[in-house]
Structure 1
Amino acid sequence: MTATSTKTSPPEPRRRRKNNPESVRADILAVATREFSEKGLSGARIDEIAEQTRASKRMIYYYFSDKETLYLHTLEAAYQKVRLQEAELDLDHLPPLEALSRLVRFTFCHHAKNPDFIRLVMIENIHHGRFLAQSKLIQSLNAGVIDALTNVYLRGVEEGCFREGLDPRELHWLISALSFFNVSNQHTFSRIFDWQQAAPENQRKLEEHVTDMVLRYVRPDEVTPQP
């Protein structure tokens, strides 16, 4: 009787978990954005953020030192996201009216799709912009959007489709204000006036109205013919 020998494969080496610092940081910031936007700086807790991420509380402190630093980085990430997307609009290669229309529509839709961003901005206003003022990154990012809008505006004035005398910062304020209110006051406005503001068809109408209002604002005043 011959015994049949069975060959056993050697055990596979254990796969070591590879820590990707950028991925870990992004995960922490995504959860922190939600926590800070819902509970504010004082209400958010590092313990709760750690429970919802792949990182430990100790690791969060390793990357961000303390809760206020994490909050500041969360603000920076939120502003960086919107400004990077604005930079991809390719406004310099579009006619001025089309470029401005694209920027307005982008701003309106971005804010509508990112209510966490709006709430973070509202929370930072409660703190009188104290943390935002500490960030050179945010200041440089926001200067960039004004530069881009200035270029569009000056091209429009040169081509005669925009009126002279407007301040690009005030134009940016107008675009932001109309788009911001759509999110910040959505629930109260809907309840007060019994109107489903968030309904897709109403959002499409509002996007059209906001775009039309801004474009009418920048166009040259029409000269009424004398009788």
Structure 2
Amino acid sequence: MPGVTKQPLRAAKPVPIKRRDRERTRQEILDIAFEEFAENGLSGGNTDAIAARANITKRLIFYYFNSKEELFTAVLEMAYAEMRAAEEDLHLEALEPEAAIRRLAEFTFDFHQAHPQFVRLVSIENIHRGRHMAISRRLKEMTQPSISQIAKVLERGAACGAIRPGIDPVELHMTLNALSFFAVANRHTFEAQFAFDMSSSKARAQRRAEIADLLWRCVRGD
């Protein structure tokens, strides 16, 4: 049209493609899978449900984890890594032997009480006879600092006569975990059989103190 100056067409600006952060996506899958496996077990855990909750395709799950079994192993590694990291923050080397033993007992009890899904996941892995843990180098490696920390407390205590010598740190670790684990894993059946309160704040505080006392009496030198 006369008098109208045509403006040159401008190329449309490309719409930036939002790319998922790989680590964030992987962690989201692990977090959701943790809840799914803890609730439904390995056999009942549903990768379709995990994908739907993460708003991704199931194919993407298997891009990060080659199989459901590998995903379950990774969930176990994540769960244990959280506990082991918390154990390292106890700084037991700065405490006197009795205080260190009691702190370790209280921490272990508190962790299990605060993480019932962790207890269920460990129970599920025991149903599978520990086969996923057996093939995980990472899980085996992360146990060493924990046992080493207990061993050092025992050695210091034995050197000053506060703790009797010859205690196996792995045996002590097993004893403590058995006591703390039971209070979560067997709570419902124990309460049903004996009408014994294991759930209230008062009952948990009493059990926590009893476990700390038991562990100290187990190791003390006199």
Query: Normalization by structure 2: what TM-score?
Result: 0.90
Q: CA deviation at 1:38?
A: 1.5
Amino acid at match of 2:167: L
- Give the corresponding residue for 2:205: 204
SS at match of 1:142: helix
**Which deviates the most, 203-212 or 88-97?**
88-97
Map 1:107-118; keep pairs closer than 5 Å. Answer: 107-118=108-119
**Which deviates the most, 87-96 or 76-85?**
87-96
Amino acid at match of 2:176: I
- Give the corresponding residue for 1:85: 86
- Give the corresponding residue for 1:174: 175
Q: 1:201 to 1:16 in 2, by over 3 A?
A: farther
| 1:192 is aligned to 2:189 | no
SS at match of 2:54: coil
- Give the corresponding residue for 1:72: 73
SS at match of 1:192: helix
- Give the corresponding residue for 1:162: 163
Q: 1:93 to 1:13 in 2, by over 3 A?
A: farther
Once residues 52 and 103 of structure 1 are traced to their aligned partners in structure 2, the CA distance between those partners, rounded to angstroms, is: 37
- Give the corresponding residue for 1:123: 124
Computed over aligned residues only, the root mean square deviation of the Cα atoms, in angstroms, reads 1.6
- Give the corresponding residue for 1:105: 106
Structure 2 unmatched ranges of 5 or more = 1-11
Q: Which runs of 4+ in 1 moved over 3 A?
A: 11-16
Q: CA deviation at 1:16?
A: 4.4
Query: Normalization by structure 1: what TM-score?
Result: 0.88
Would you say the 8 A contact 2:158–2:221 is kept in 1? no
Amino acid at match of 2:31: A
Amino acid at match of 1:82: M
Q: CA deviation at 1:40?
A: 1.2
Once residues 92 and 12 of structure 1 are traced to their aligned partners in structure 2, the CA distance between those partners, rounded to angstroms, is: 60
Once residues 151 and 56 of structure 1 are traced to their aligned partners in structure 2, the CA distance between those partners, rounded to angstroms, is: 48
Once residues 52 and 142 of structure 1 are traced to their aligned partners in structure 2, the CA distance between those partners, rounded to angstroms, is: 32
Corresponding residue pairs, total? 211
- Give the corresponding residue for 2:56: 55
Q: CA deviation at 1:138?
A: 0.4
SS at match of 1:42: helix
What percentage of residue pairs aligned between the two structures are identical? 40
Q: CA deviation at 1:18?
A: 3.9
- Give the corresponding residue for 2:218: 217
Residues 70-118 of structure 1: CA deviation (Å, up to 9, x unaligned):
0000010011110011011111122121112111111100011111111
| 1:134 is aligned to 2:150 | no
Once residues 196 and 12 of structure 1 are traced to their aligned partners in structure 2, the CA distance between those partners, rounded to angstroms, is: 66
Amino acid at match of 2:81: Q
Once residues 212 and 132 of structure 1 are traced to their aligned partners in structure 2, the CA distance between those partners, rounded to angstroms, is: 31
Once residues 153 and 202 of structure 1 are traced to their aligned partners in structure 2, the CA distance between those partners, rounded to angstroms, is: 29
Would you say the 8 A contact 2:187–2:198 is kept in 1? yes
Amino acid at match of 2:145: G
Would you say the 8 A contact 2:112–2:181 is kept in 1? yes
Once residues 136 and 91 of structure 1 are traced to their aligned partners in structure 2, the CA distance between those partners, rounded to angstroms, is: 26
- Give the corresponding residue for 2:4: none
